[in-house]
Amino acid sequence: MIRLENLSKVFPGQDEPAVDDLSMDIYEGEIVVLVGPSGCGKTTTMKMINRLIEPSSGRIFLQGEDVTRVNSDNLRRRIGYVIQQIGLFPHMTIADNIATVPKMLGWDKERTSGRIDELLETVGIDRSYRDRYPKELSGGQRQRIGVARAMAADPPVLLMDEPFGAIDPITRDRLQDEFLRLQREIKKTIVFVTHDIDEAVKMGDRIAILKQQSKIAQYDTPENILTDPADDFVRNFIGTGASIKRLSLSRISEIETTDWPVARLSDSHDEVREKMRSSGRDHVLVLDEQEKPGRWVGKDEVKYDTPLEESGRPAVAVVEATASLYKTLDTMITSYKGSAIVVDEEGRYKGVVDFDTVLEATSAMHSSEREETAQDLQTEGGGR
Amino acid sequence: MGGFLEYLALNWDHVVELAIGHAIVVAISLAIDVVIGVSLGVLVFRRERVAGVALAITSTFLTIPSFALFGIFIPIFGLGYPPTVVALVMYGLLPILRNTVAGVRSVDPAVAESAQGMGMSATQRLLRIELPLAWPVIIAGVRVSTMLLMGIAAIAAIVGGPGLGEDIFSGLARVGSVTALDLVLGGILGIVALALIFDAFFNVLGKLTTSRGIRD
């Protein structure tokens, strides 16, 4: 979709190139994150794609077409652009801001207006905001309008330069989630620049970790980068806690849950005791009528004078099957028995995970990826 | 003071006629200043050194004593409107030019970058983004020029220019006579009144032509 070929940039008056002989391919529909320390040339690289910065040498291909020399204004109208400060036009209404590119492309009023409504809905902003001005919006809302404006003429490619950089952490997290959900529908090809490795891991289908002069240290999926950093530079850049970050990429639904004895509120005390005995566990999980986890009841807590719904302890460490292993682990640590109960979207019981399960799953992850890499190396070696 | 009011009542038509002439010559000069000042500002604002030169030259205009400048222009432009307008245009240029440059430069770089990133050409950026955003600052410059020109236009009377300067000069020429003070006072008050009217006009115009999104 986007191909950069031997791209270099030397700024006038500087001896060292800011970007040195960079080649990379970006496939259709993927989010590629350019990440690296400040001054590594990641923003320069991105701005060469829409030629806000003209490359000194090398070529840029967009959808197979060499765009290195085409009219840059026309090129930019085909590429959405979102920057950290967003840069909404303060003297124009939200509707006029969004309509910027459609107007330049000569869309008629009706089509533009329809598109504005559609986009406002997509980014979750009420239509009543059409005639408001940017200063009347919160930071998060402005950011959404910035995205809507960039998508106005439905460009196949979006360039985003630290789009969530200037937003408070809580809103940022929400906007990132929203954007990922949106991307699943719109499937744009996105080049995303950030200096934050956690954001890169979260947002990227693939991550390019860049050294000085935009030299690629590693260009791979977040999973592979975290489990198998290419060199010390990447390892240092990821920093401590790579394994923990890796956990945020896997969901519980991907691992086996432990078999655990469950009981119903309607079960008799004898039945409960029998279940414990036959499973060899000293606790059962009691479910309520809707299959929702109710209480943990221990061996010594099954007494004839207490009904099941009052025995033991309430089951609080509950996570949805879509939660990441990171979140699950966090829940487990604070739970009573060091295990978390997995439920579906409706809150119905699906299984239990404990520390051992997660540990097994992570070591399996590491060894399988190591094997894949080993195989890759072998096939590469054999091909030569 | 009673004498002055009586004088005004008797000479009202005459004073009003001079005031109209004064307003017209100032308005013409201002209009030319806006055209030249804004275009020049737009041409130079990206070039630090050229902008410096343009501002230095227009500042120099302001230091030339008006009495002398009007005088020099008689052999070149003759009498009446031409020398008056040329001199006034020179005096009114600096505030408008300076504010245009400052206004366009004060546009948030992020706004300019996103405009460029969306594929707006340099002309589109100027007309749709930079000038509208600089407009309140430019209008403020126009208001300063107005005040300046109102006063200086009085001097135009020495080259036979139109305006209230005529009464001021004829009053000053016959100091000691009964009507001298009334003539001078009439001219001054007329100019002050005109200045206030013009300022109020530009104030309202500025509000009406500035987007609600950038009004305070």
**Interchain pair B110, A87: CB under 8 A:** yes
Neighbour-count burial for A192-216, b at 16+ CB within 10 Å, e otherwise: bbbbebebbbbbbbbbbbbbbbbbb
Residue A298 has φ and ψ, to the nearest 5°, of -95, 170
The pLDDT of residue B120 is 95
Q: A93 and chain B: CB distance < 8 Å anywhere? A: yes
Say how far apart CA B78 and CA B84 lie, in whole Å.
10
Predicted local confidence at residue B25, as pLDDT:
95
The pLDDT value recorded for residue B125 is: 95
Residue A11 has pLDDT above 90, yes or no: yes
Structure tokens at A94: 């939200």
> For residue A232, what are its two tokens?
């010390």
Q: What is the pLDDT of residue A370?
A: 57
Burial (CB < 10 A; 0-12, 13-18, 19+), residue A300, is exposed
Question: How near does any CA of chain B get to the CA of A230, in Å?
Answer: 34
Is A93 in Cβ contact with B213 (below 8 Å)? Answer: yes
pLDDT band at A320 (very low <50, low <70, confident <90, very high): confident
User: Amino acid identity of A317?
Assistant: A
Q: Select the residue from A67, A81, A89, A147 to test the B interface by mutation, using most B Cβ atoms within 10 A.
A: A89
State the pLDDT at residue A360: 79
Q: Would you place residue A256 in the very low, low, confident or very high pLDDT band (cuts 50, 70, 90)?
A: confident
Q: Is any Cβ of chain B less than 8 angstroms from the Cβ of A52?
A: yes
Encoded tokens for A57:
């040498």
Poorest-confidence range of A180-184, A299-303, B76-80, B193-197? A299-303
Say what the pLDDT of residue B1 is: 55
The dihedrals phi and psi of A191, each to the nearest 5 degrees, come to -110, 120
B129 secondary structure, DSSP code:
I
pLDDT at A371: 60
- Predicted confidence band at A382 (pLDDT cuts at 50, 70, 90)? very low
pLDDT tens track for A351-380: 888 888 887 777 777 666 556 555 655 555
Determine whether A45 is exposed, middle or buried from the number of CB atoms within 10 Å of its CB (0-12, 13-18, 19+).
buried
Count Cβ–Cβ pairs < 8 Å, chain A vs chain B.
76
Query: B130-148: per-residue pLDDT in tens?
Result: 999 999 999 999 999 999 9
The two structure tokens encoding residue A266: 């309607």
**A363: its two tokens:** 């070591």
For residue A261, name the pLDDT band (cuts at 50, 70, 90).
confident
Amino acid at A312: G
* Between A371 and B9, residue with greater pLDDT: B9
Instruction: Give A205-233 pLDDT, tens digit per residue.
Output: 999 999 999 999 999 999 899 888 899 99
**Nearest to B96, CA basis, from B69, B133, B58, B60:** B58
Task: Identify which has the larger pLDDT, A245 or A214.
Answer: A214
> Rounded to a whole number, what is the distance in Å from the CA of B161 to chain A's nearest CA?
42
Rounded to a whole number of angstroms, the distance from the CA of B209 to the nearest CA of chain A is: 11
What span, in angstroms and rounded, lies between the C-alpha atoms of A154 and A98? 12
Whole-angstrom distance between the N-terminal and C-terminal Cα of chain A? 28
What value of ipTM does the predicted structure carry?
A: 0.84
| B209 touching A (Cβ < 8 Å) | no
Q: The tokens 């939200």 sit on which residue?
A: A94
Q: Of A98-107, A185-194, A284-293, B7-16, which range is least confident?
A: A284-293
CA B150 vs CA A255, B13, B165: distances in Å: 84, 20, 10
A87 contacts B114? CB cut-off 8 A: yes
Pick the residue of A77, A100, A142, A160 with the most B CBs within 10 A to test the interface with B by mutation. Answer: A100
pLDDT at A366: 67
CA distance A244 to A320: 19
pLDDT, residue A341, reads 87
Instruction: Read off the pLDDT of residues A336-350 as tens digits, 9 standing for 90 and up.
Output: 677 888 888 888 888
Across A6-15, A179-188, A266-275, A375-384, least confident range: A375-384
Q: State the Cα–Cα distance between residues A358 and A344, nearest whole angstrom.
A: 19
- Interchain pair B117, A133: CB under 8 A: no
Our CA angle for A150, A152, A157, nearest 5°, is: 55
d(CA A6, CA A139): 38
In chain A, % of residues over pLDDT 90:
49
Mean pLDDT of B201-211: 93
State both tokens at B77.
């432009």
- Residue A278 is predicted with a pLDDT of 83
More confident call, B125 vs A302: B125
The answer to whether A1 touches A24, Cβ cutoff 8 Å, is no
Chain A, window 143-172: residues with a beta carbon less than 8 angstroms from a chain B beta carbon: 146, 149-150, 159
What value does the mean pLDDT take over residues B42-47?
92
Picking from A75, A83, A104, the nearest residue to B120 by CB comes out as A104
C-alpha closest to that of A310 among A265, A260, A272: A265
Residues from chain B that touch A150, judged by Cβ atoms under 8 A, are 118
pLDDT of residue B54: 95
> Do B213 and A135 make contact, defined as CB atoms within 8 angstroms?
yes
Distance, CA of B150 to CA of B39 (rounded, Å): 23
Q: Which of the four pLDDT bands, split at 50, 70 and 90, describes residue A381?
A: very low
Q: pLDDT, tens digit, for every residue of A124-138? A: 899 999 999 999 999
How far is it, in rounded angstroms, from Cα A56 to Cα A11?
Answer: 8
d(CA A256, CA B171): 105
Q: Which of A38, A148, A132, A48 is nearest to A91 (CA)?
A: A132
Residue A64 has pLDDT above 70, yes or no: yes
A97 part of contact set with chain B, CB < 8 Å: no
**Residue A184 buriedness (CB in 10 A; 0-12 / 13-18 / 19+):** exposed
- Where is average pLDDT lowest: A277-286, A289-298, A362-371? A362-371
Instruction: Show Cβ contacts of residue B51 under 8 Å, excluding neighbours closer than 6 positions.
Output: B44, B45, B101
Q: Phi/psi of residue B215, each to 5°?
A: -80, 150
The kind and range of the H/E element at A97 are helix A94-98
pLDDT of residue A369: 58
Rounded CA gap, A260 and A287, in Å?
Answer: 12
Q: What is the DSSP letter of A280?
A: T
Mean pLDDT, rounded, of chain B: 93
Please state, in angstroms and as integers, the Cα–Cα distance from residue B192 to each residue in B19, B85, B198, following that order.
Answer: 11, 20, 10
Question: Closest-CA residue in chain A for B135?
Answer: A91
Q: How confident is the model at residue A162 (pLDDT cuts 50, 70, 90)?
A: very high
Calculate the average pLDDT of chain A: 87
Say what the pTM is.
Answer: 0.77
pLDDT attached to residue A384: 38
pLDDT score, position B111: 95
10 Å Cβ neighbour count for A166? 15
Inter-residue contact B134 to B107 (CB < 8 Å): yes
**Residue B26: pLDDT above 90?**
yes
Distance CA B54, CA B27 (A): 23
